[in-house]
């Protein structure tokens, strides 16, 4: 083992880059301290017998889920097991994989990523690995006493649309044992002196999210709910209050009030697989060729100028109509000339989310322009993300006078809440649904309608609902800072009252 010393992170990165250029090392790993480079599975699961069963359950749930996702189903195949665990690794799931990067600057970031000096004494470290050397070393290693082969294998995977992996130039070392005890990596050590100017934290953890990452967000949102429920259930059992968590099993849950209709309801052709095919497309996009474009939008404040919300709508619609390639890029929209009452940080982050959530779906340019224009209005209303429902309601009613609060979800319990116009939603009802009512006069508002049916596929004209989704439901979710934002109306399974 060789130990090289540097005065700071910049010097350490320069030293590692020199080693890389010489061909001495090709992979690098940064850590705040000289901890053993063990896997998260070794640290978090193997020492705890109870954690192993939870790990197995989580892995089974994830594997079952990916088989139902067209863009991810390949991960369940044996030949793509490394890609499966690459996804899990980047979402905090314990694995036998250890993160490395081919870029010394990335390792330098991880070796210094803290706002204040580490409390634990010692040095920051960049581990330097020669993958050819470790392969050669393990090719001659004898079996364990139990006849098991020791494995420490460099792994490189390409997971389309996993931008966090791409941004970090990530690679992995798979190990089935404490490999660092028998193979000592060379290293560069240095005192902590703050984070380098490059790369930025936003490059390492991209604020832009791909379509794949949005889908994974929905899955891991549900995972957190499952884990929270399990924790509360355990706590209730310990306190002798198991009755609080009795499971109610419904064999065939009713999605509508059958007594209110003359004949059974069924989805219309608009909700069929063929009609919704354009909403199922998931393009493969490379991080560094997709992210990085900035579009400045200066806003005018003179008396003759249109309202700022209208300026935003017209500017974005004009940009999309004249530069069609924009929708293939994760654009950062930069507004200047904003009034003081607009929360600029919230506007920028929600615009980014809306853009990436909508641009690859077949929304019209007008839909996207209206959504971002709505965000401009909502980001000037501080009560939009208040936890007090009455304040939220009043804030949204100044935006849409007949705003109503709705809840909606995808298969698998991913759900969100939002505001939209009661009258617009009422007009979006499919005429066939209304004509099938035994008492059409009983439905005078969406509250009445949603008391009779809560499956949107049975009651709404899809094209009209998708327009409301774009212009009201998406921006209101974002303005409320929902932990999970749903963008695709084609995936809706339920829509009703909270």
Each residue's pLDDT tens digit, 395-413: 898 999 999 999 999 987 7
β pairing state of 291-298 and 330-336:
parallel
Each residue's pLDDT tens digit, 169-182: 999 999 999 999 99
Cα 378 to Cα 85, 416, 475, 498, distances in angstroms: 39, 18, 8, 21
User: Whole-angstrom Cα distance, residue 175 to residue 153?
Assistant: 6
Each residue's pLDDT tens digit, 379-398: 998 777 665 556 667 889 89
User: Whole-angstrom Cα distance, residue 257 to residue 189?
Assistant: 68
CB 464 within 8 A of CB 302: no
CA dihedral 133, 139, 140, 145 (to 10 degrees): 120
How many CA atoms, within 13 angstroms, populate the side-chain half-sphere of residue 82? Answer: 17
Res 370 pLDDT > 90: yes
The pLDDT of residue 231: 62
The pLDDT of residue 233: 56
* Mean pLDDT, rounded, of the chain: 90
Q: Which of 216, 210, 208 is nearest to 69 (CA)?
A: 216
The pLDDT of residue 301: 86
Question: In this structure, how many other beta carbons lie within 10 angstroms of the beta carbon of residue 153?
Answer: 16
CB 429 within 8 A of CB 460: yes
CB 231 within 8 A of CB 405: no
Would you give the DSSP letter of residue 440?
G
Q: Which of 68, 72, 129, 67 is nearest to 98 (CA)?
A: 129
CB neighbour list of residue 268: distance below 8 Å, 6 or more residues apart: 430, 432, 457, 461, 462
HEC string of 337-361 equals: CCCCCCCHHHHHHHHHHHHHHHCCC
Q: Which of 321, 331, 379 is nearest to 359 (CA)?
A: 331
- Residue 245 banded pLDDT, cuts 50, 70, 90: very low
The pLDDT of residue 71: 83
Highest mean pLDDT among 41-50, 206-215, 326-335: 326-335
Could you report how far apart the first and last alpha carbons of the chain are, in Å?
A: 61
The pLDDT of residue 414: 86
Cα 59–Cα 61–Cα 64 angle in degrees, nearest 5: 105
């Amino acid at each position: 083992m060789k130990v090289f010393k540097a005065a700071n992170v910049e010097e350490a990165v320069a030293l590692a880059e020199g080693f890389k250029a010489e061909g001495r090392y090709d992979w690098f790993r940064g850590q705040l301290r000289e901890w053993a480079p063990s896997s998260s599975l070794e640290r978090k699961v193997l020492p705890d017998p109870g954690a192993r069963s939870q790990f197995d359950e989580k892995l089974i749930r994830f594997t079952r889920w990916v088989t139902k996702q067209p863009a991810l189903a390949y991960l369940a195949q044996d030949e793509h097991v490394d890609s499966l665990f690459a996804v899990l690794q980047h979402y905090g799931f314990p694995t036998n994989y250890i993160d490395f990067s081919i870029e010394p600057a990335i390792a330098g970031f991880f070796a210094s990523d803290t706002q204040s000096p580490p409390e634990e004494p010692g040095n920051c470290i960049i581990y330097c690995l020669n993958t050819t050397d470790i392969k050669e070393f393990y090719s001659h290693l004898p079996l364990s006493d139990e006849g098991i082969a020791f494995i420490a294998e460099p792994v490189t995977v390409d997971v389309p649309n996993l931008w966090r992996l791409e941004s970090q130039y990530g690679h992995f070392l798979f190990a089935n044992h404490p490999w660092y005890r028998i193979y000592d990596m060379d290293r560069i050590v240095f005192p902590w002196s703050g984070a380098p100017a490059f790369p930025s934290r936003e490059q390492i953890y991209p604020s832009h999210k791909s379509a794949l990452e949005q889908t994974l967000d929905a899955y891991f949102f549900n995972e957190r709910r499952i884990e929270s429920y399990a924790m509360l259930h355990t706590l209730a059992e310990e306190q002798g209050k198991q009755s609080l968590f009795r499971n109610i099993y419904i064999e065939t849950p009713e999605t509508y009030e059958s007594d209110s209709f003359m004949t059974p309801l069924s989805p219309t052709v608009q909700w069929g697989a063929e009609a919704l095919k354009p909403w199922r497309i998931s393009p493969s996009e490379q991080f560094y060729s997709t992210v990085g474009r900035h579009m400045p939008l200066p806003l005018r404040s003179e008396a003759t100028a249109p309202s700022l919300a209208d300026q935003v709508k017209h500017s974005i619609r004009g940009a999309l109509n004249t530069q069609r390639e924009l929708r293939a890029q994760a654009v950062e929209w930069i507004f200047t000339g904003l009034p003081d009452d607009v929360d600029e940080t919230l506007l920028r982050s929600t615009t980014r989310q809306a853009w990436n959530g909508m641009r690859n779906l077949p929304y019209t340019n007008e839909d996207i322009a209206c959504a971002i224009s709505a965000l401009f209005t909502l980001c000037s209303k501080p009560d939009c993300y208040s936890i007090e429902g009455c304040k939220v309601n009043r804030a949204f009613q100044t935006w849409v006078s007949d705003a109503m609060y709705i809840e909606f979800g995808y298969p698998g319990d991913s759900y969100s809440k939002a505001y939209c116009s009661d009258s617009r939603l009422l007009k979006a009802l499919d005429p066939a649904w209304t004509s099938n009512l035994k008492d059409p006069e009983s439905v005078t508002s969406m509250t009445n309608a949603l008391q009779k049916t809560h499956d949107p596929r049975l009651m709404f004209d899809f094209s009209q609902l998708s327009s409301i989704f774009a212009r009201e439901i998406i921006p209101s979710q974002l303005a409320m800072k929902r932990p999970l934002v749903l963008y695709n109306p084609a995936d809706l399974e339920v829509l009703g009252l909270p």
